[in-house]
Structure 1
């Protein structure tokens, strides 16, 4: 059995990178790889996970300690494939990312670098202004670079044209595990959250960051509460655990929480329970690399109010999802009250979101592995691809029918 490493800053949580990493581990295992996760921090650590310091700050706001180069090199030498999952992208540990790249190129191990959040797309300012001199995101043409949306792929193609020449740039959309999302316990979860059966529970599965646009989600809930009046109580549920009241919050978020109707804070161990408990899922972000909760909610049979992040436009146009506009509370209210229309929307979205099921990733992943091996051996990587899950760069940079030509955004009429 071949050996693979999946390396990231932190793993094992409910954030988009951790969830997407789980999918890749599962699919690589189906391709007869024994996959070991490597990170500097685990929300939930599994017995076979490896912990290497240097990719995550030991204390919030502090710099990362030096990477254990000897340990990293030894792991690489024992591996047939390495996936750097957002490690070579997010500007939180640039020295570690560059060190991994140096080791991987020296050892000649096939490498896939998956890019979720390039620095120029991050609007939270957590790591300061984007600095191209940092060397991030990684963009060496002997590695296969996988973006999770067409917008980022076009950005890479324009900034790093050598990736086009070598066939080392491709988009692979995130996936969902349908079966895992369908066995949630609605009654038990709502009882644990102290949410009544008749309440409208609005789920906002997100972290605390400026780009998550939390005030917009709260305002939607406030407007819905005005429409319902005394007929129904609206509850705003944010899952990020650092939103607890005993921790300091950014002023704009603290002000929003102070007026959020029926505020509920905290996550559930299982995503299926989270979606089962909800009546509406919102994602009001200014920027998302993908927006994992949107297709997950659709597969779980929940209506979605999302936007205005640009990648949503790409996904809605590509998959023809029907998404409610969180900036139009009256339309959301009317749709929630129209049982037949709501049922049609949920059914329509579920059928289309199921095309992103992880079971459909096996064939694209086989192509990625082969391309990474070709690049490591001096050959051309990805030549052409266009499917529900994968688009090659040649289909994205101005070619008719590629994502660059998709501009429509289908809202629920």
Structure 2
């Protein structure tokens, strides 16, 4: 099976990137092939298995403009809405290229549907899943309602649509029972709990800071 991971960033030592690497390692140990699409990718991600989509990054200038136009305010300028849909449509082209080019059988959006740092990406993945029916495991690490900075916003229409989406081909995974309870209470979505864990059998090696 060809499994496609999608995120804003799959690079460095942030929690999402580290957990993605763990999941990919497990999938590959079972004989699957893993592919990656993000706005930033680790150099160890082979080019023949990855697609860089700069607009997927939450630090992309236009995405940051959208963020500022949607959060900490109560109304949204029409120009912000226009930018959202322009970037969403561009990201959908990347997604169709990613799915078709790598013959993806299963999508794994990593926190794409949980934290709205990149609203166009959440919308693009939601629409692509709705249009294709591709099997999807939505891996949620932390939801927007867990962070105060997202509570005052002018994007409830998008949050209700895609953060997270309620679609028949999506299975949802959260990292603890509190998230499971809140997700069910707020959206009616049930989830599987898979905690983040350390690989104690293969601890990190010593480095110059150890």
Matched, 1:52 2:53: yes
In structure 1, stretches of 5+ residues that fail to align are 190-276, 278-413
In 2 relative to 1, CA 160–72 (structure 1 residues): closer, same or farther, beyond 3 Å?
same
Map 1:4-403 to 2 at 5 A: 4-42=3-41, 44=43, 46-48=45-47, 49-56=50-57, 57-59=59-61, 61-63=64-66, 66=87, 67-77=90-100, 78-123=103-148, 125=149, 129=152, 131-134=155-158, 135-142=161-168, 143-161=170-188, 163-164=189-190, 169-185=191-207, 188-189=208-209, 277=210
Q: 2-side partners of 1:157 and 1:128: how far apart? A: 19
Q: CA-to-partner distance for each residue in 1:334-365, whole Å, 9 max, x for gaps?
A: xxxxxxxxxxxxxxxxxxxxxxxxxxxxxxxx
- Point out which structure has higher relative CO (alpha carbons under 8 A, 6+ apart): 2
Aligned to 2:79: none
Q: 2-side partners of 1:32 and 1:43: how far apart? A: 22
Query: Any conservation in 2 of the 1:76–1:104 contact (CA below 8 Å)?
Result: no
Query: Any conservation in 2 of the 1:89–1:115 contact (CA below 8 Å)?
Result: yes
Query: Any conservation in 2 of the 1:12–1:45 contact (CA below 8 Å)?
Result: no
| Alpha-carbon shift at residue 138 of structure 1 (Å) | 1.6
In 2 relative to 1, CA 117–44 (structure 1 residues): closer, same or farther, beyond 3 Å?
farther
| Alpha-carbon shift at residue 140 of structure 1 (Å) | 1.4
| Alpha-carbon shift at residue 13 of structure 1 (Å) | 1.2
Q: 2-side partners of 1:50 and 1:179: how far apart? A: 32
Query: Any conservation in 2 of the 1:11–1:41 contact (CA below 8 Å)?
Result: yes
SS at match of 1:11: coil
Q: CA-to-partner distance for each residue in 1:125-179, whole Å, 9 max, x for gaps?
A: 2x56365422341231411011111111100111122x34xxxx21111122224
Corresponding pairs, count: 180
TM-score normalized by structure 1?
Answer: 0.40
Q: 2-side partners of 1:145 and 1:40: how far apart? A: 23
Rg (Cα) greater in structure: 1
In structure 2, stretches of 5+ residues that fail to align are 67-83
Q: 1-side partners of 2:116 and 2:184: how far apart? A: 20
Q: 1-side partners of 2:187 and 2:151: how far apart? A: 22
For the aligned residue pairs, the C-alpha RMSD in angstroms reads 2.3
TM-score normalized by structure 2?
Answer: 0.76
